[in-house]
């Protein structure tokens, strides 16, 4: 379950009536996804367009999805889709790394005192 502050009564109702699927805690798979361009919640939601069984675990209303944490959405997708999602993420991370190699200046500048 997401944090109580991030879930609406509508989604709780859908889970309790069986309209939406509950993922049990012991089934959850965790995946770390860096905060890179093209790895935003909107990108994840486009990815699951081909996986209706993932949408069965998430709220239908966009306002409700926006309340959910990014990591929660990632974990739901990874739990339900598995390696295909990890491969998709890895491909985007690798593309970003290649872009950094070519452009050269995609790093965070630190204050000299902190560096």
pLDDT tens digits for 23-41? 888 999 999 999 988 999 9
Q: Taking a C-beta distance cutoff of 8 angstroms, is the pair 93, 36 a contact?
A: yes
pLDDT at 7 over 80: no
Query: Are the C-beta atoms of residues 29 and 78 closer than 8 Å to each other?
Result: yes
CB 35 within 8 A of CB 86: no
pLDDT of residue 107: 58
């Amino acid at each position: 379950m997401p944090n109580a502050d991030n879930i609406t009564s509508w989604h709780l109702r859908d889970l309790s009536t069986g309209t939406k699927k509950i993922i049990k805690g012991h089934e959850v798979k965790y995946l770390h996804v860096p905060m890179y361009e093209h790895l935003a919640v909107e990108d994840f939601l486009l990815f699951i367009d081909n996986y209706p069984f993932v949408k069965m675990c998430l709220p239908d209303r966009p306002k409700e999805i926006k309340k959910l944490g990014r990591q929660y959405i990632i974990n739901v997708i990874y739990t339900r889709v598995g390696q295909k999602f990890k491969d998709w993420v890895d491909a985007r991370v690798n593309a970003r790394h290649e872009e950094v190699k070519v452009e050269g200046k995609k790093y965070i500048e630190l204050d000299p005192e902190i560096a």
